[in-house]
């Protein structure tokens, strides 16, 4: 099984997942140049929330690999033609003359995500890649359908199966009864249609299993499982982690009348604990107003000794700062992944 360290170190493993450029936008929207295909080095740096010099240093260290995945350095007439195509961008974004320009394809940007160590955004992209790699390895080979079209596949499968079972097969039965010369061919065709019908039933059952949340999924893939949970299921998952780590009197009370917290419990040493659980998309953020609201509920309404704000997405820097000042433990996506994999929260010890 691929892990994050192996992905950072092995070019062959990186090459195996470079087609998943769609994951970039699942973590954070990637702005493109007017040509709709490329980004500049500055835009790559903005996406990964690092300095442009960091990306330039990465380019110098891994130039050959990045060029094989779509990085190009334009000069001369090629640069002039490119500027004309993206004129509006250069008028507002790069007023100074340039003798060369590095442009990056989406594939090259994904390559950066697998090389850049000190970026939370890059780490989130790698997490998604690992999750999707796990799902690809564990689902049946004859079912390569991406998870974002599962519901559509259900409807198509059911409709085709209905047509085959209620219309096509009875038609063959009638033809077979009245035909003499082509009876064998019709019987063979009917058998083929019935095989397709059975396969569609099996395909439908496999998709239903893949849609369900699996409690036995290992650490690689655990974030994909949590991303697929409903809010209430996510709250119970967090309650399960608290019980695993020795908390007692764990009660899930999220919903109407919860007084601003989703879970109440006692830590292993008897302190009063409350938790807020937010299952948000990984490209969103927990903001400072949300943390401030939770501070009031945790400290004023519940007099909590330990307050956890658990989220499947990052926190803004201001939100993290306010949480730290108020004694709130921010369990963001990275910490949540480690906690779910067995690493206990320090505040519970």
Give the containing element (helix H, strand E) for 311. strand 306-311
Under the banding of pLDDT at 50, 70 and 90, the label for residue 158 is low
Q: Is the pTM of this model over 0.75?
A: no
Distance CA 315, CA 337 (A): 15
258 or 64, greater pLDDT: 64
Place of tokens 């480690």: 338
pLDDT score, position 251: 92
Beta partners for 307? 274, 328
Instruction: Examine the pLDDT at 117 and tell me if it is beyond 90.
Output: no
Is the CB of residue 71 less than 8 Å from the CB of residue 105?
yes
Calculate the alpha carbon distances from 100 to 74, 296, 344 in Å: 5, 54, 50
Confidence of residue 86 (pLDDT cuts 50, 70, 90): low
- Alpha-carbon torsion, ordered 121, 54, 91, 98, to 10 deg: -150
How does the average pLDDT of the chain come out, rounded?
78
What percent of the chain is modeled with pLDDT above 70?
71
The residue that leads in pLDDT, 92 or 54, is 54
Question: 235-283: per-residue pLDDT in tens?
Answer: 999 999 999 988 999 999 866 556 779 999 999 989 999 999 998 887 7
Write the pLDDT tens digit of every residue in 288-330.
999 999 998 898 888 999 999 999 989 999 999 999 999 999 9
Average confidence (pLDDT) over 164-182 = 65
pLDDT of residue 107: 92
Q: What percent of the chain has pLDDT over 90?
A: 30
Sorted by sequence, the CB contacts under 8 Å of residue 334 that are 6+ apart come out as 120, 123
CA distance 195 to 36: 44
Q: What's the helix, strand, coil split of the chain in %, to 5?
A: 55, 10, 30
């Amino acid at each position: 099984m691929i892990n994050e360290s192996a992905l950072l170190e092995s070019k062959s493993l990186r090459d195996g997942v470079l087609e998943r450029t769609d994951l970039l936008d699942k973590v954070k929207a990637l702005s493109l140049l007017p040509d709709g295909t490329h980004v500049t080095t500055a835009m790559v740096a903005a996406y990964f929330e690092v300095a442009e010099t960091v990306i330039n240093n990465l380019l110098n260290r891994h130039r050959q690999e990045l060029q094989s995945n779509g990085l190009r350095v334009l000069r001369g007439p090629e640069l002039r033609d490119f500027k004309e195509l993206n004129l509006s961008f250069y008028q507002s974004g790069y007023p100074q003359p340039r003798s060369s320009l590095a442009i990056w394809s989406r594939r090259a940007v994904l390559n950066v995500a697998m090389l850049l160590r000190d970026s939370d955004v890059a780490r989130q992209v790698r997490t998604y890649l690992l999750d999707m790699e796990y799902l690809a390895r564990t689902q049946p080979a004859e079912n390569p359908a991406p998870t974002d079209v599962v519901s559509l596949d259900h409807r198509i499968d059911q409709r085709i199966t209905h047509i085959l079972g209620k219309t096509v097969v009875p038609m063959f039965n009638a033809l077979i009864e009245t035909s003499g010369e082509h009876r064998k061919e019709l019987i063979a065709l009917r058998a083929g249609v019935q095989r397709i019908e059975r396969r569609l039933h099996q395909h439908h059952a496999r998709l239903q299993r893949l849609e369900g949340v699996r409690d036995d999924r290992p650490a690689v893939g655990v974030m994909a499982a949590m991303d697929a949970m409903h809010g209430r299921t996510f709250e119970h998952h967090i309650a399960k982690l608290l019980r695993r780590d020795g908390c007692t009197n764990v009660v899930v009370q999220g919903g109407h009348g919860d007084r601003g917290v989703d879970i109440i419990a006692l830590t292993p040493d008897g302190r009063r604990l409350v938790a807020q659980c937010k299952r948000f998309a990984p490209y969103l953020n927990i903001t400072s107003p949300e943390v401030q609201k939770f501070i009031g509920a945790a400290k004023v309404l519940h007099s909590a000794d330990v307050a956890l704000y658990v989220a499947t997405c990052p926190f803004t820097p201001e939100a993290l700062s306010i949480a730290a000042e108020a004694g709130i433990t921010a369990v963001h996506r990275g910490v949540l992944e480690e906690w779910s994999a067995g690493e206990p929260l320090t505040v519970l010890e």
